[in-house]
Amino acid sequence: MNGQAQELTLSRLPKLPRLGPKKKSRLLTNGLPLVLASVILAGVSSVVYFVRRKRKFAEIVEDWELEYGPHRFKFKDLYVATKGFKDKELLGAGGFGRVYKGVLPTTKLEVAVKRVSRESKQGMKEFIAEIVSIGRLRHRNLVQLLGYCRRQGELLLVYDYMPNGSLDKYLYNQPKLTLNWSQRFRVIKGVASGLFYLHEEWEQVVIHRDVKASNILLDSGLNGRLGDFGLARLYDHGTEPQTTHVVGTVGYLAPELTRTGEATPCTDVFAFGAFLLEVACGRRPISQSSTDVILVDWVYSCWRKGDILEAKDPNLGSDCVVEEVELILKLGLICSQSEPEARPTMRQIVQFLEGDVPFPRMSSLRLSSSGIAFSHRTGFDEFAMLYTSSLNNKFSHPSSAETSLLSGGL
* DSSP per-residue codes, 379-394: THHHHHHHHHHTGGGT
pLDDT digits 0-9 by tens, 149-180 = 888 777 888 999 999 999 998 998 666 678 99
**CA distances to 23, 57, 89, 401 from 18, in Å:** 11, 64, 75, 131
As a whole number, the mean pLDDT across the chain is: 79
Residues 203 and 339 grouped into a single domain:
yes
Whether 123 and 239 share a structural domain: no
Indicate whether 106 and 255 sit together in one domain.
Answer: no
Q: Is residue 251 in some structural domain?
A: yes
Query: Is 76 part of any domain?
Result: yes
Calpha distance 178→282 (Å, rounded)? 10
Going by C-alpha positions, the residue among 74, 72, 182, 201 that lies closest to residue 142 is 201
Task: Let me know whether 331 and 218 are in one domain.
Answer: yes
**Does some domain include residue 293?**
yes
146 and 176 together in one domain = no
Do 241 and 347 lie in one domain? The reply is: yes
CATH code: domain of residue 199 = 1.10.510.10
Residue among 210, 268, 313, 381 flagged as catalytic: 210
Q: Tens of pLDDT along 360-393?
A: 877 656 555 456 665 444 444 444 444 444 444 4
Residue 348 CB burial class (10 angstroms; 0-12, 13-18, ≥19): buried
Q: What is the CATH number of the domain that holds 85?
A: 3.30.200.20
**Residue 227 and residue 301 share a domain:** yes
Residue pair 398/318 in contact by the 8 Å Cβ criterion: no
281 in the same domain as 154: no
Counted residue by residue, the chain has a size of 410
Residues 267 and 186 in one domain: yes
Cα–Cα distances in angstroms (integers) from residue 246 to residues 97, 139, 176, 290, in the given order = 19, 27, 37, 27
Statement to judge: residues 313 and 240 lie in one domain: yes
pLDDT of residue 407: 29
In terms of pLDDT, which residue wins out, 354 or 7?
A: 354
The answer to whether residue 255 scores a pLDDT higher than 70 is yes
Tell whether 273 and 326 lie within a shared domain.
Answer: yes
Instruction: Reply yes or no on whether the pLDDT at 33 is more than 90.
Output: no
Residue 69 belongs to domain spanning: 63-160
Q: Is 168 annotated in the active site?
A: no
Determine the Cα–Cα distance for residues 143 and 152; give it in Å rounded to an integer.
26
Query: CA-CA distance, 365 to 372, in Å (whole number)?
Result: 7
Please check whether residues 291 and 195 belong to one and the same domain: yes
Last residue of a domain, one of 160, 179, 201: 160
In a domain, residue 12? The reply is: no
Q: Is the pLDDT at 145 greater than 60, yes or no?
A: yes
Of 333, 401, 344, 325, give the one whose Cα is nearest residue 367: 333
The count of structural domains within the chain is 2
Which of 118, 144, 160 is where one domain is finished?
160
Domain final residue, candidates 160, 177, 209 = 160
**399 inside domain:** no
Is position 108 annotated in a ligand binding site? no
